[in-house]
Amino acid sequence: MFKWAWKSLFNQPGHLLGSALGIASAFILVIFFDSVWRGESVQVVAYPDNMKPDIWVMQSGVGNMHMAMSFIWDWKAKKIEKIEGVKKVTPILYTSSIITVNNKEMFAFIVGLLPGTQRAGPWEMSAGRQIENPGEVLIPDVLSKIGNINIGDSLQIIDQTFTVTGLTKGTFSSANTVLFVPFSNLDKILSSSGTYSYLLVDTEESIDAKKLAKKIKNDVAKVNALTHKEFIANDLSMAKQMGVEIIVMMTIICSVLAALIVAFTSYSLIMRKRKELAIIKALGVNNRTVLYSVTAQSIIVTLSGFILATAFAIFVIPTLPQFIPQLTLLVSIDAIIQLGLIALIVSIAGALIPAYMVLRVDPATAFHV
């Protein structure tokens, strides 16, 4: 019986391929959405993750960086510097704002760097040089590509015009594009004289960062201090919460769609093979065996679609950012495994209508002339 199921499917390779492609497309939609979400979530923490200080210090009540606002007095940085175990304190100013690139407005995060604080600057440059003078800006190389803006060109942040002096790598995402400007310029934009946003604290070797963070919180009034791990975890969990509902709903919609395509394929096949099925039944094969073979067909079709979708996810999705650079995609094996389980459910759900049709096939029709 399973041989029959196998053969009748592969008798029409075009039909099988069409069905597999339809199912694969529905699954690709799910994987793609998931990749965007995961890619953006990881990219949201790209800046703090690459800075890797032992401790992050910020305004009390603030516990992360993405979409947050933090201000602490500059004298607190000096006080923290004097605490035993602290090796270095690197202050930054930080804000989110809209930037205007060639008359196009984009959302971006801006980091203000004090002179000589490369520690908090870009971790990789792809062209140009670091900031040396006021009015200069470092932009992501992807932004340069999509915004058609190059070294020497200018862009606007609020009411100030900046000249691009360098292109940075790994700093772009749709939700979290990071630009670097001189501290003095951002200070003026924010009217935040005498304050910093975050302090990157490096500790002496063999110092317990968790204990030191606690000490900073106790010794310095109205600041929050978190270890790098805690800080990143906070940002990542918030980024992942945003949009998770969309991923779930898209997975549901596309799975239903895949189930419908499976149902259609199996149904068409059964309708064409009604007479064969009647003969099989007339020969004494019971309903259960026939149902198993219908389900097997459904699983084969779904599995083919799933394999195609997985191949697409592994080989094609990672290359997409070359053509659409503003996309940050991260294909997750976990997501593919989850989808595999969904595919199994889909294949069984898709077999339900054809199974009903099989049960209705009358063995007597095998003897109709």
Partner 1 sequence: MFQLAWKQLKLDRWRTLLTAIALGGVIAVILILEGFEQGQYYQLEQLVLNRKADLIATQSGVNNFIAVRSSIPQFSRAEVESVEGIINAHPITSLPIIYNKNNIRTPVYVLVYDTWGGPSSIIRGKHIKKGNDIVIDISLAKKYNLKVGDKFFVTDFEFKISGFTKEAAFMMPLAFISYDGMLDLFLESEIAPDLSTFPLLSYMLLEIDPAFDRKKIQQQIEARSPFVDVFTPSQIAERDKNMGKTFYAPIIGLLVSVAYIIGMLVVGLIMYSDIRSRIKSFAILKALGFPFTKLFQAVVFQSLFLLLLAIPIGAIFAQSFAIFIHNIFPIYLFQIFSPNVFFQSVFASLIFAFIGAMIPLRSIQRTDPLLAFQGE
Segment 82 to 141, residues that bind partner 1, using CB under 8 A: 95-98, 104-107
Burial string for 188-208 (b: 16+ CB within 10 Å, else e) reads: bbbeeeebbbbbbbbbeeebe
- State the alpha helices, DSSP H only, in 226-332: 228-241, 244-272, 274-282, 287-311, 320-323
Indicate the residue among 59 and 293 with the shorter CB distance to partner 1.
59
Site for partner 1 in 13-72 (CB under 8 A): 14-15, 18-19, 21-22, 25-26, 28-29, 32-33, 36, 59-64, 66-69, 71-72
245 sits near partner 1 (criterion: CB under 8 A): yes
Is the Cβ of residue 241 or residue 287 nearer to partner 1 in the bound state? Answer: 241
What's the CA gap between 181 and 115, in Å, rounded?
A: 10
Of the two residues 40 and 136, which places its CB atom closer to partner 1 in the complex?
40
Of 343, 354, 348, nearest in space to 254 by CA: 343
Helices then strands, each counted (H, E), the chain: 14, 12
Taking CB under 8 A as the rule, does residue 343 contact partner 1?
A: no
Binding flag, residue 268, partner 1 (CB under 8 A):
yes
The residue from 234, 298, 310, 347 that contacts partner 1 (CB under 8 A) is: 234
* Three-class SS state of 125: strand
Tell me which residue of 38, 49, 59, 66 sits closest to 232, measured CA to CA.
49
What span, in angstroms and rounded, lies between the C-alpha atoms of 197 and 71?
4
Looking at 41-49, 164-172, 253-261, 283-291, which segment touches partner 1 (CB under 8 A)? Answer: 253-261
Number of residues in contact with partner 1, rule: CB under 8 A? 76
Name residues contacting partner 1, limited to 3-22 (CB under 8 A): 12, 14-15, 18-19, 21-22
Least distance to partner 1, CB of residue 205, Å: 31
Q: Helix 2-10 vs helix 287-311: angle between axes, to the nearest 10 degrees?
A: 50
From the list 44-52, 211-219, 246-254, 287-295, the region that binds partner 1 by CB under 8 A is: 246-254
> Amino acid identity of 225?
A
Minimum distance from residue 129 beta carbon to partner 1 (Å): 27
